[in-house]
Chains A and B, each alone.
Chain A
Amino acid sequence: MSRETSLVSADWVAENINNPKVVIVEVDEDTTLYQQGHIENAITFHWRDDLQDGLIRDLISKEKFEALLSKSGISNDSTVILYGGNNNWFATYAFWYFKVYGHQDVRLLDGGRKRWELDARALVTEVPTRTATRYVAKERDNSIRAYRDEVIAAIGTLNIVDVRSPAEFSGELAAPAHLPQEQGQIKGHIPTAKNIPWSKAANEDGTFKSDTELKELYVGAGVDLAKDTIAYCRIGERSAFSWFVLHELLGVANVKNYDGSWTEYGSLVGVPVAVGA
């Protein structure tokens, strides 16, 4: 777990586009972007159709994950490079997903789609054909996934990091500002959570800040890195980004992503809620 094993540069991707051991996967919030143009030889996963169960609210099963990777031509020993828009928001969620199911070598393109586009690097529309594999996933690693009862027990005890925007944390907005604001759950945040917006970990071009800056970001906001940490947002994608920063870039042990996040917590009966900054 380090910058060297978790991130690659745009130059590295450009040099490895035809490397048979490398599989490049685009994961975007705006799922139309891949069709408009993507990195040569990249395939795409749809965050909802491919990565959500569809019937119950949960990750897809181990068997479905194996089927998805097998049909995508990803092997257990593939180096998977993930990238996407909006600071790699959904690509980082996919990274966490790969780690939940124990994939060994998965990395992010630093800066994602934005840095690639701002560099005016080539995008193509041809969809590659890949030979199917027989992927074997590991059992889910729940050491990096938090459930609601652990979150409630962590109030006032462990680090809880709310990575949503300040307006969502305070209760002013119910969702990120590019989504309609009519949501079923109440507004606010989990008591004792520190608000450290996910986006603070990224530079304006989507690349990650330096390790020194990142450490200062969390420690400066009151996170005790010696304690266990739970990160949450609205649906678990932005908090996967912050989980990546803490667990993968900074190498902090015992960091969990609460993917139930505010859409679950803010709907629970009787749990404590705080509002305001």
Chain B
Amino acid sequence: MKTCGATPGGPSLDGIDVTTQTIIQGVVLKVGDDGVPNGTLVANAHVRLLDRDGEFTAELPTNLQGQFRFFAAPGVWTLVVQAPGARVEQQVTAAQGVPADLVISL
């Protein structure tokens, strides 16, 4: 899996007190034939959050803008993203007050 250097694209944080929350969010983009994300958003991808022991904690579909958001606890988590014919895993370290905002290529 690659994460590109584009501006991360999780949902807007307006109205959320990020200082009290440990947020993991992001956007899922389709990878083109050249192996580079081509900007196409993947709606309804299944995003699963696993804890440090690999235990299922939550699962969400991406929204129509390809975005997702979890409210976690500080620490290391793993995201598993699935869509027809595609599956990627990505580790993320979450911290309170500093949202982890990811671009995930699928």
Show the binding face of A for B, using Cβ within 8 Å.
30, 32-33, 36-37, 85-87, 114, 117-120, 165-167, 172-173, 175-182, 197, 199-200, 204
Contact = CB atoms under 8 A, between A and B. Distances in A.
A28 to B, nearest CB: 9
Contacts of B84: 117-120
Identify whether the interface residues of B are mostly helix, strand, loop, or mixed: strand
Contacts, number: 80
Given A114-B82, A172-B73, A178-B69, 16 more contacts: A33-B44, A85-B59, A85-B61, A118-B83, A165-B56, A167-B73, A176-B57, A177-B24, A177-B70, A178-B58, A178-B71, A180-B71, A181-B73, A199-B55, A200-B56, A204-B82
Contacts of B48: 204
Given A117-B84, A179-B71, A197 B56 contact: yes
B33 interface: no
Chain B interface bracket (under 10, 10 to 19, 20 to 34, 35 or more): 20 to 34
A86 B63 CA distance: 14
B49 interface: yes
Closest 7 CB pairs of A and B: A199-B56, A177-B58, A120-B84, A178-B58, A165-B57, A177-B70, A177-B57
B95 interface: no
Contact of B59 (A87, A117, A181): A87
B20 interface: yes
Interface string B6-36: 0000000000100011101000000000000
